[in-house]
Chain A
Amino acid sequence: MKIKKGIPLIDQHDKLGFYGGKFGGNYVAETLKKPIDDLTKLFEKSRNDKSFLKERDDLYDNYVGKPTRFIKLENLSDHLGGAQIYAKVVSDANGGAHKIYNAITHAMLCKKANKKYICTDTGAGYNGKMFSMVAKKFGLGCKVFMGTRDIERQKPNCDAIRKNGAEIIPVNSGSKTLVDAVSECIRYWVSNCDKVHMGIGSLVGPNIFIKICGWSTAQISRELKVQLEEEFGEIPNKLKLINCVGGGSSAYGFWSEFFDYNKKEVELIGVEAGGPKKSKLHAAPLSKNSKIAILHGAAAYCVQDDDGQIDETESCSSGLDYPSCSPIHCFLKDVGRARYTFATDEEAFSAYKLVTELEDISPSLEPAHAFAEAIKIAPKLNESNILVVDSCGDSLKDKDIIKKKLGSYLR
């Protein structure tokens, strides 16, 4: 098992859609085979189509607003002493998170397939919000599946989704979070695949959804590479790219230009949700060594019980609160190209607090997990080390949770 150089990682699967021979695949009901096949053909054609790419790039320029900022966190670096800390402020993107990239591709593909409706899942609400935005822009009907627990804790994004004219379908089964939302969205697609396009909100699901998502978020990495070269004249040789990992869409996008670099020079660090310190529950299948399970169409490391039932997860951040992870991250873990760790809820909250107190950015609780890791390791490294954290979401959606936990919400 190893990474091939010069080929996008999303394309390094076998003919059944497996990465490294065992992660991923297409475990779907027969009914979905054809829609998935059609989507695969459409995507492969579109990604090589100049007019499709031009339309996408225009949208990135004028609608998303590119590039998102790359800034040095001077105060945080000084405060911690040690490595220099930078942030790629992906939350600058229209809508406030990286989910916009994938949503745009799906809306474009939906249009190309002559479908008038689009559906998706959401945890933190950002993916749902972005789909509702692009649906409005492209004139598509939009349904967003969301666990009732997440509807309660991510109200600002729910308000945005509804304001954009999309319908939120509350999902009340199981743990009432992202895992159930994805299941319900897939079930809805099984029944309506002739009229409706489905977009999965992260780097998970049957193979084609992983490819579309990774292809889309890769924009983050293309921008970062240019920005690093502008800042340092070259890619620094003691570089660490730190990203939170739930499904793993922003991490893939953040890293995709850097897989071919020597791992001693460009280290990739994924930070999962460790959950509350006192709880046994977590959402960290990679760093807590969960076994492989088949969930939502793919084989990947997943939190499960001895019998194979998917276990409940717990995290303060809805976007990371998912029992499984991307097959691509499983592959990266097994080949040793990326290192995965976790931050607890408490560590994420203190990271949020420290970053917002010292700097002019306000990361949501998902990237707060990545900041927690940066805060942990920076003091142990000298200043020739460059840490870049992907600040992939804005905290506004978490204001109620933060207020409750920290007493006040300051941006």
Chain B
Amino acid sequence: MISKISSAFKKCKKENRPALLTYTVAGDNSKKKSLEILKSISFYADILEVGFPHNAPTADGHQIQNSSFRALKGGIKIKDVFQIVKNYKKSKDAKPCILMGYYQMVYKYGERKFVKKCKQVGVNGLIIVDLPWPDNKEFSQLCKRNSITFVQLLSPTTSRERMKKIIASSHDMIYYISMLSTTGGKLKVSPKKILQNYYKIKKINKTKNIVIGFGITNKNIASFKKADGLVVGSALCKEIENSIKNRQNPVIKLNRMVKNLSMKIR
């Protein structure tokens, strides 16, 4: 059976546009608001990445760090993250949902229990930032057995030989990190160069859905239209921060921003 994630990409391809993936942190800026945000951006996004916060994030830039710290300050627990996804998935037009975070949270919860819980609440995919290949082999299989897409990451530092191996062991979606950076860094490589690398990966296996992330904002997203999918995360986290600062409703602000992003890649 084709996964919900694959169908989402297929639909976008038919419409001749990249899939828009959003990333927001569960619990930012409150449990209630983060659920409302998911529901509200759902109409314009194709796949929703939901971060489960950890307080020692070694690969995140300031925006996502701040998002995570806000969520943790609000008392978010991993059980709340599952609850938020569960409630989101109850909504009528729920999109596929990918949980993203650090391995410590999975390890602490118990790998099997975590994956089972994901399946139960309707999570479609998992990105574990600090569980690279080949250390992730067993976990990736565990996800597969539970019909959850384990999303492998590739980076500009990944050698071609390693890339081939990772792609061979990957599921239906792969995440390409655009540049050497933590999340939310300023795009320091030209979109042209990033797309060149993207095509190199695509050439190895055309059937995989490859998304590009890190440094993508409404200013540059239009340059990446050719990709299978594009992830916007830090820009959204920053928008939440700004709306808190300006005493505006983050739900409305994010809805507007994601709508805007989706228009730019149509």
State the A residues within 8 Å of B (CB). Answer: 16, 25-35, 173-174, 179, 183, 186-187, 190-194, 292-297, 299, 304, 307-310
Contact A183-B57, Cβ < 8 Å, known A27-B131, A34-B157: yes
Q: Please, could you name 29 A-B residue pairs with CB atoms under 8 Å apart, sorted by A? A: A26-B135, A27-B103, A27-B135, A29-B58, A29-B130, A29-B132, A30-B158, A31-B157, A31-B177, A33-B155, A33-B158, A33-B162, A173-B69, A179-B56, A190-B58, A190-B181, A191-B181, A192-B180, A193-B157, A194-B157, A194-B180, A293-B108, A294-B102, A294-B104, A294-B107, A294-B130, A308-B104, A308-B105, A308-B109
CB distance from B194 to the nearest CB of A (A): 14
Residues in B neighbouring A293, C-beta threshold 8 A: 104, 107-108
Contact of A27 among B60, B130, B134, B156 (CB under 8 A): B130
CB distance from A147 to the nearest CB of B (A): 13
Q: Say whether B78 faces chain A, with CB atoms less than 8 Å apart.
A: yes
Q: Say whether B61 faces chain A, with CB atoms less than 8 Å apart.
A: yes
Check A190–B158 contact: CB distance below 8 A. no
Check B180–A296 contact: CB distance below 8 A. no
CB-CB nearest in chain B for A292: B107
Residues in B neighbouring A179, C-beta threshold 8 A: 56
Residues in A neighbouring B102, C-beta threshold 8 A: 294
Check B77–A187 contact: CB distance below 8 A. no
CB-CB nearest in chain A for B158: A30
Residues in B neighbouring A174, C-beta threshold 8 A: 55-56
Check A297–B130 contact: CB distance below 8 A. yes
Contact of B58 among A26, A296, A304 (CB under 8 A): A296
Residues in B neighbouring A35, C-beta threshold 8 A: 157
CB distance from A150 to the nearest CB of B (A): 17
CB distance from A177 to the nearest CB of B (A): 12
CB-CB nearest in chain B for A302: B104
Residues in A neighbouring B182, C-beta threshold 8 A: 187, 190-191
Residues in A neighbouring B162, C-beta threshold 8 A: 33-34
Residues in A neighbouring B185, C-beta threshold 8 A: 191
A187 to B62, CA, bound (A): 10
A304 to B180, CA, bound (A): 30
Contact A304-B108, Cβ < 8 Å, known A31-B180, A183-B57, A187-B61: yes
Check A29–B56 contact: CB distance below 8 A. no
Contact A31-B155, Cβ < 8 Å, known A190-B182, A294-B102: yes
A292 to B106, CA, bound (A): 12
CB-CB nearest in chain A for B214: A31
Q: Say whether B142 faces chain A, with CB atoms less than 8 Å apart.
A: no
Q: Say whether B153 faces chain A, with CB atoms less than 8 Å apart.
A: yes
CB-CB nearest in chain B for A174: B55
A365 to B4, CA, bound (A): 57
Check A295–B130 contact: CB distance below 8 A. no
Chain B 108-128 against A: per-residue CB contact (8 Å), 1 yes, 0 no?
110000000000000000000
Residues in B neighbouring A310, C-beta threshold 8 A: 55-56, 104
Q: Say whether B65 faces chain A, with CB atoms less than 8 Å apart.
A: yes
Contact of B104 among A26, A34, A190, A295 (CB under 8 A): A295
A179 to B58, CA, bound (A): 11
CB-CB nearest in chain B for A311: B55
A223 to B152, CA, bound (A): 47
A28 to B58, CA, bound (A): 8
Contact A30-B177, Cβ < 8 Å, known A187-B60, A307-B77, A307-B78: yes
A174 to B162, CA, bound (A): 35
Check B58–A186 contact: CB distance below 8 A. yes
Check A30–B109 contact: CB distance below 8 A. no
CB distance from B28 to the nearest CB of A (A): 15
CB distance from A43 to the nearest CB of B (A): 18
Residues in A neighbouring B158, C-beta threshold 8 A: 30, 33-34
CB distance from A193 to the nearest CB of B (A): 6
A192 to B158, CA, bound (A): 15
CB-CB nearest in chain B for A33: B132
A28 to B131, CA, bound (A): 7
